[in-house]
Amino acid sequence: MRKKSIREIKKQLLGEIEGLIDKRGLIKAGLPNYDRFFGRDSIIVSWQLLKIQPEICKKTLEVLAKFQGKKFDKISEEEPGKILHETDFKLKWHPNLPDFPFPYYGSVDSTPFFLILFYFYFKKTGDKKFLRKYWKNILATLHWIEKYGDKDGDLFLEYQRKNPKGLFHQGWKDGLGDHLRIQPPVAIVEAQGYQYLALKGVIKLAKTLKQNRISEELSKRAKKLKKSFNKKFWVPDKKYFALALDGKKNQKKTITSNPGHLLFTGILDKDKIPSVVKKLFEPDLWTSYGIRTHSKKETDFNPESYHKGSIWPHDNWIIAQGLRKLGYKKEYQKIKRALLRAFRKFGFLPELYVVKNGKLFEYKNASYPQAWATGSLLNFLAPY
């Protein structure tokens, strides 16, 4: 079989993205399992496509602002200022989970990611009119972060489901059961980095609108957050960050890919960055097809597990953004080549895949096309 050129691969990837765009101009998460609008997924895909299709980013922000939480609802897990996890514009309830209403808000990271995307969009476009129009939404988001996302006032974002049939874990490795084995409320590691970058981004947005008081207050929170995070999440003997703090503020020391997401956020102390990067490329996490979600050294590792050993393209892409930002060009290219290698083996890039004994396998029931997987490789192949 003839090997596709980079130009042909990009054309295929663009076609997959086009096939996931709905009549509103929004990107659905993926087929066949996630033929809906997701907060986290749509934000990440909008980020991946920002330089080539910024209109997708703008429409995504508009719709997320429209559905921003306004009241308290335990069943939908809605709270004032919170950004949704997912919805279907045609349905009131999840088609397979009858106690799961739409819109559903069980996500800890959609809310800070909303602010990050807004900052990235403004940085790209300089659209002050758009910023002013949605400034109240930005303030409402900040209010959620400080009051409802951080109920105990320790600066960390935490989650604990309110709907007993909703998502138990509410970071990107979410699920209905406690597959991560962490007792709530859970302060998942990557959400703290997202919060930090969100605060830093809004500080710059506030300065643009001459909102100096808000900028000063956020600066104080960001400084305290960074100091506390590096102290409480760092695991000295592993020279790496814990997956989470549990409900008793104990570290969940499992070695995972999650701390790699911190690299693009700016929350890490400089002296800790090299050891985080080194760990991500050690054999228990690294494969020739990308970084695993879960270390081979963990007792619950399974290369065929959805979140505890498989490889996700978008997970790798986010890690790579931090590597590029911090000047780790060699490591950035390793991830790019790994995803391209997987694409060439499959002829496409699915939601996730399996590497077992060095060999690549499809993950049963993986969605394809999956927007943030497709967007990952498309972004790698169209650098800007």
Kindly report the CATH number assigned to the domain that includes residue 81. 1.50.10.10
Whether residue 133 is contained in a domain is answered as yes
Nearest CA-CA partner of 319 in 378, 258, 371: 258
Q: What is the mean pLDDT of residues 163-179?
A: 97
Nearest CA-CA partner of 256 in 277, 285, 217, 214: 285
Per residue in 64-91, pLDDT tens?
999 999 999 999 999 999 999 999 999 9
Whether residue 64 is contained in a domain is answered as yes
Instruction: Give percent above pLDDT 70 in the chain.
Output: 99
* Domain containing residue 46: 6-381
**Residue 369: is the preceding peptide bond cis (ω within 30°)?**
yes
pLDDT value of residue 383: 63
SS3 state at 160: coil
Nearest CA-CA partner of 225 in 264, 268, 183, 261: 268
pLDDT at 367 over 70: yes
Strands 240-241 and 234-235: antiparallel
Per residue in 7-55, pLDDT tens?
999 999 999 999 999 999 999 999 998 999 999 999 999 999 999 999 9
Whether residue 32 is contained in a domain is answered as yes
| Residues in a beta bridge with 292 | 311
Q: How far apart are CA 158 and CA 130, in angstroms?
A: 30
pLDDT at 276 over 80: yes
Displacement of CA 94 from its chain's centroid (Å) = 22
Displacement of CA 103 from its chain's centroid (Å) = 19
Per-residue confidence at 384, pLDDT binned at 50, 70, 90? very low
pLDDT value of residue 300: 97
Whether residue 1 is contained in a domain is answered as no
Whether residue 358 is contained in a domain is answered as yes
Whether residue 331 is contained in a domain is answered as yes
Alpha-carbon dihedral sign for residues 128, 321, 167, 234: negative
The total number of residues written for the chain in this structure? 384
Whether residue 281 is contained in a domain is answered as yes
Q: How far apart are CA 321 and CA 106, in angstroms?
A: 26
Q: Please give the tally of structural domains in the chain.
A: 1
Q: How far apart are CA 91 and CA 174, in angstroms?
A: 22
Displacement of CA 344 from its chain's centroid (Å) = 25
| Average pLDDT score, the chain | 97
Q: How far apart are CA 185 and CA 306, in angstroms?
A: 23
Q: What is the mean pLDDT of residues 94-100?
A: 87
Number of H helices, E strands in the chain: 12, 11
Per residue in 291-331, pLDDT tens?
999 999 999 999 999 999 999 999 999 999 999 999 999 99
Instruction: Please tell me whether the overall predicted TM-score, pTM, comes out greater than 0.85 for this model.
Output: yes
Per residue in 260-273, pLDDT tens?
999 999 999 999 99
For the chain, what percentages of helix, strand and coil (3-state, to nearest 5) are there? 45, 10, 45
Nearest CA-CA partner of 235 in 257, 251, 259: 251
pLDDT at 223 over 90: yes
Whether residue 166 is contained in a domain is answered as yes
**Residue 103: is the preceding peptide bond cis (ω within 30°)?**
yes
60 vs 383, residue with greater confidence:
60
Q: How far apart are CA 259 and CA 267, in angstroms?
A: 11
Helix/strand/coil (H/E/C) assignment for every residue in 165-194:
CCCCECCCCCECCCCCCCCCCEEEHHHHHH
Displacement of CA 211 from its chain's centroid (Å) = 28
Q: How far apart are CA 272 and CA 328, in angstroms?
A: 14
